Structure 1
């Protein structure tokens, strides 16, 4: 049967009746948007299919893209490059398995969200197509080089479509790697476009608004609440995913967000200072040292865990300590051995909020005497990414220590918020 997008059809299969609007499908399954708001994928084999209502051509455009988004774009708008790396925002449900897979290119994202064409003139490029859990440090280097080329070629802003689970790592990495004259905006979605509660369109539209603004920093733009009211603009070195599935999972830690994007009118309200467009010249330092460990201390853990990293050739270690930044007293000799071997040891806190201070209790003072470096109020994963980046820039131990103690990209604040 010749079904078209926008047709209302009824499908009876295995004594179950499905009725809804035909949606795009990249498999052999017929995908219906049902009146409940949910989607169903039905294989047409042995199914009874009835067209309930044909939609007029002009009505079909309300649901789907009848032509390429590139033919709709206006050349007098700011030029934004949208780079796809995969993740849920660039994913679709595979109705054969029920799993979410990365299947869309950057052009597909533009065609799925036509409102983007009102904000900027877009070019799209797939840098790589991986799910968030498959992200690797070497991909950050490739991404940084691609971003740099896009800026050199005249992009007024960059949007990076990324999986949410590791977005904070990639955003931190590019924050250290690139001094940027234009906005670089990470965006993702907690729920794929197939789901009725998807956050992909709103997040992408708000990200495009920031990409054409004067906020020339690496940021992450995601839902600010569970409603479709505004997105928050988070610094790439101060953001963390704080919930597995809520649409407002991303929060700025130990700082306020840079600001907010009102979804209804696409207006930006800033509440923190930021680097403005054109202030810095483009500078890329994309080298990175992946052989760094992030070790979470738990009560009773043997110092042999730390010994493993030292003896296995790791070049740097971040310890995620308790409270003010503590590990067990019997770990201190191994911290000293690591430092004496030229391996920087950075101490962050599992508490996330607040800052490390190892001068309050005896164990902390012993850790500092052994050569441990306080991460101040850096998030553990940001400290980890910074350590990898620093060791990619220098082989000199003392220089690395100085860089680790310096505030390079807003990763540390001068004082903690109460």
Structure 2
């Protein structure tokens, strides 16, 4: 058996079948290969014949093309934060890593250059799990600066796993007279089923449209026909890997974008380009947490956060918004000590109503704030933003119950 290392190109013969690929991080008794197709295969080394084909080497990066500016096209800024849409194969390990810049995206998707003039800025190159409030604030400030300098629209490339948190954060921090479109991809560009080109082209169509404010543009169905435009405070990733993972919750999508024609068909109302003045409100309180209740769960977790100085807790309660009756006294103690507690539901659809059962009434009497029909992740971000603005508990409650970015709908129809 040949000696090999991560990133080497090898041939493996196993049970009469031949596999050729790049060696990825593997256990000592197995080998994982990145195949030419872009997919991975894991094989037991027991009975396998491994032949080294080529030692690892980073291929030279192709020369970047020049993208001439067209004075007749709108000016769009691409702010790159990383994620699968800005990823390719790392030839050292065979794994997918965030390495693309905005210019690389234009090189990979030349159709974009016919739609607008693009200015690219790399703000970060991280996977979305590494996002936090300071990154959101930096991104909000960058969006504000680009718009102030004349950008007709913004595209933010982002990893999908926490994209909805960032979309909500931007929705509260930036009042935008132009489109701010967040876009991601479920599958990297090296895979034959990649959705990055279609999602980016549809995102560019929205960025040059009259749909102002923060939206998320992602695949609308399993085929490559159209993307949906989702409100930034009402969208959630509902599947781990499907290209149609993103769906609007409690409301329909704003619009759909036909991939072939780039035509946008409105579905619901939306803020129009130029309707609101540009504003930046980027103060956030980071000491907030999201806690999911489960049967038999001890309320000691609330004591922990209170003792650690946390200023806000979002609870994912059951059904209409409940936790065990054993929690009520602990929650009241935390609220009396100055902690804000907002109730949401573990259910995907529907709204909070703590006036139906006695437990809910007790929670309201303890000072728990109802989260209406907002998504838990949206409530968490909004609470962080509200605590950065409110002067006292009454003002905080008013902010949480006011609709700022389409996060609350007072009539549930879905």
**Range of TM-score over shorter length:** 0.7 to 0.9
State the match for 2:211 in structure 1.
215
Question: What per-residue deviation string (whole Å, max 9, x for no partner) do you get for residues 38-95 of structure 1?
Answer: 579x986379xxxxxxxxxxxxxxxx98751523x42320000000000000011224
- One of 377, 383, 387 as aligned partner of 2:383: 387
Q: Is 1:206 equivalent to 2:206 in the alignment?
A: no
CA contact (8 A) 1:162 1:187 kept: yes
Cα contact 2:195–2:219 (8 A) shared by 1: yes
1:402: which partner in 2?
A: 398
Pick the aligned partner of 2:137 from 130, 134, 141.
141
Measured in 2, the distance between the counterparts of 1:286 and 1:262 equals 34
Give yes or no for contact 2:10–2:54 (8 Å, CA) kept in 1. no
Residue correspondence of structure 1 range 120-269 to structure 2 within 5 A: 120-269=116-265
Indicate the SS of the match to 1:393: coil
Gaps of 5+ in 1: 1-10, 20-31, 48-63
Contact 1:69 1:117 in 2 (8 A): no
Could you tell me the TM-score, scaled by structure 2's length?
A: 0.87
Alignment equivalent of 2:339, drawn from 340, 343, 368: 343
Tell me how far apart the structure 1 counterparts of residues 270 and 231 of structure 2 sit (CA, whole Å). Answer: 9
Q: CA shift at 1:396, angstroms?
A: 1.9
Other-structure match for 1:412: 408
Higher mean alpha-carbon deviation, 403-412 vs 228-237, is at 403-412
Number of equivalent positions: 378
| Contact kept in structure 2, 1:13 and 1:46, CA below 8 Å | no
With normalisation by structure 1, the TM-score equals 0.86
Question: Is the 8 Å Cα contact of residues 20 and 35 (structure 2) preserved in structure 1?
Answer: no
Cα deviation, 1:246-281, whole Å, max 9, x if unaligned, reads: 000000000000010000100000011111000011
**Distance apart, 1:238 and its partner CA:** 0.1
Q: How far apart in 2 are the matches of 1:392 and 1:103?
A: 34
Contact 1:291 1:314 in 2 (8 A): yes
Relative distance call for 1:275 and 1:358 in structure 2 (3 A) is same
Is contact 2:12-2:20 (8 Å) kept? no
What residue is the counterpart of 1:45 in the other structure?
A: 54
Q: Report the Cα distance in structure 2 between the residues aligned to 1:163 and 1:319, rounded to whole angstroms.
A: 25
Distance 1:161 1:365 in 2: 43
Helix, strand or coil at the partner of 2:377? helix
> Structure 1 stretch 305-314 or stretch 186-195: which is displaced more?
305-314
Alpha carbons of structure 1 residues 172 and 43: separation in structure 2 relative to 1, 3 Å: farther
Unaligned runs of 5+ in 2: 1-8, 22-33, 41-50
Whether 1:97 aligns to 2:106 is no
**CA distance in 2 between partners of 1:334 and 1:157 (Å):** 47
Q: Counterpart of 1:365?
A: 361
- CA apart distance, 1:14: 6.5
Q: Deviations over 1:69-122 (max 9, x none)?
A: 523x42320000000000000011224433211111111111111000011100
CA distance in 2, matches of 1:38, 1:325: 44
How far apart are 1:12 and its partner, in Å?
A: 9.1
SS in 1 for 2:315: strand
2:280 matches 1:284: yes
Which secondary structure state, in structure 2, belongs to the residue aligned with residue 81 of structure 1?
A: strand
Tell me, yes or no, if the aligned pair for 1:69 and 1:107 is still in contact at 8 Å: no
Relative to structure 1, the CA distance from residue 335 to residue 14 in structure 2 (aligned partners, 3 Å threshold; closer, same or farther) is: closer
Aligned residue for 1:314? 310
Partner of residue 67 from structure 2, selected from 67, 70, 74: 70
Tell me how far apart the structure 1 counterparts of residues 52 and 407 of structure 2 sit (CA, whole Å): 50
Alpha-carbon distance in structure 2 between the residues aligned to 1:281 and 1:14 = 61
Pairwise CA distance, 1:311: 1.4
